[in-house]
Amino acid sequence: MTRFGMGYDVHRLVEGRRLILGGVAVPYEKGLLGHSDADVLLHAIADALLGAAALGDIGRHFPDTDPRYAGADSGVLLARVRELIEEKGYRVGNVDATVVAQWPKLMAYIPQMVTNIARILAVPEDAVNVKATTEEKLGFTGSGEGISAYAVAGIESREKQ
């Protein structure tokens, strides 16, 4: 059986933080504010995978009230999500994600993000798609106040392998 999930995340841009997207450090004067490393792309993917497996969301598994996750590497959290869906009898099929950011421009970093996400999820790179877009200077992302990400993920029963 194939199942699908959708994820979304958003964080505010602030000075004094590194910008991490898809596990990649992106040079920029601001970074995303959050309890962990605030990687909106990996968080959206994690939520999509958890949703596909009917396992809740990242807030349930990695609450921001838990000091163990302060400054956490979202790649480690995503790897744990992969383990959770595998424990439930599924494997990652594919991921399609969109990062919404007016600045910085992300096209040059997308191949590295895809490679990183595929490695974490133990899937081929052609099972991961990452896109970047702007909001044409509209809303909080368009004004540069934050960055958001959307993701859709498909998971398959492990018995199909």
Q: Is 136 annotated as a binding residue?
A: yes
Q: Is 140 annotated as a binding residue?
A: yes
Q: Is 61 annotated as a binding residue?
A: no
Q: Is 86 annotated as a binding residue?
A: no
CA 157-114-34 angle, to 5 degrees, is 95
Q: Is 57 annotated as a binding residue?
A: yes
Q: Is 43 annotated as a binding residue?
A: yes
Q: Is 4 annotated as a binding residue?
A: no
Q: Is 66 annotated as a binding residue?
A: yes
Q: Is 29 annotated as a binding residue?
A: no
Q: Is 130 annotated as a binding residue?
A: no
Q: 32-37, long-range: CB within 8 Å, 24+ apart, which pairs?
A: 32/146, 32/147, 34/64, 35/64, 35/69, 35/70, 35/71, 35/72, 36/62, 36/64, 36/69, 36/70, 36/71, 36/72, 36/73, 36/74, 36/77, 37/71, 37/72, 37/73, 37/74
Q: Is 145 annotated as a binding residue?
A: no
Residue numbers in the known binding site are 9-11, 35-36, 43, 57-59, 62-66, 133-136, 140
Residue numbers in the known binding site for a divalent metal cation are 9, 11, 43
